[in-house]
Amino acid sequence: MYTRSIKNYRYGFTLIELLVTIAVVGIVMSIAIPNFTETIRSSRLTTNANEFVTSLNIAKSEAIKRGVQITILRSGATAAQWEDGWSIFVDINGTEGFVDDGDTSLCEVNSEGIAIEDCLLKTYSALSSGFTLRTGGSTYQNFIAYTPTGMSTVSVGDTFRLCDSSADNTKSRAIIINSVGRSRVQDGTTACP
Dihedral (CA of 134, 140, 145, 147) sign: negative
CATH of the domain at 132: 3.55.40.10
Residue 127 pLDDT > 70, yes or no? yes
What is each CA distance from 169 to 81, 175, 188, in whole angstroms?
17, 13, 5
Q: What pLDDT does 28 receive?
A: 85
Residue 5 included in any domain: no
Q: What pLDDT does 59 receive?
A: 96
Residue 9 included in any domain: no
Residue 192 included in any domain: no
Tell me the pLDDT of the chain averaged across its residues: 86
Q: What pLDDT does 168 receive?
A: 73
Tens digits of residue pLDDT in 49-61: 999 999 999 999 9
Residue 6 included in any domain: no
- The residue with greater pLDDT, 33 or 140, is 140
Assign 178 a pLDDT band (cuts: 50, 70, 90): very high
Assign 8 a pLDDT band (cuts: 50, 70, 90): low
Residue 1 pLDDT > 60, yes or no? no
The residue length of the chain stands at 193
Is pTM beyond 0.85? Reply is no
Taking phi over 0 as left and psi of -120 to 50 as alpha, with beta for the rest, 189 belongs to beta
Residue 47 included in any domain: yes
Q: What pLDDT does 138 receive?
A: 72
Number of structural domains, the chain?
A: 1
The whole-number average pLDDT for the span 145-155 is: 92
Residue 121 included in any domain: yes
Instruction: Decide: residue 59, CB within 10 A, 0-12 exposed, 13-18 middle, 19+ buried.
Output: buried
Q: What pLDDT does 47 receive?
A: 92
Q: Confirm if 134 and 81 have CB atoms less than 8 A apart.
A: yes
Q: What percent of the chain has a predicted confidence (pLDDT) above 90?
A: 44
Tens digits of residue pLDDT in 88-119: 999 988 887 887 777 777 788 888 877 788 88
Range of the domain at 122: 15-187
Residue 136 included in any domain: yes
Q: What pLDDT does 4 receive?
A: 61
Residue 10 included in any domain: no
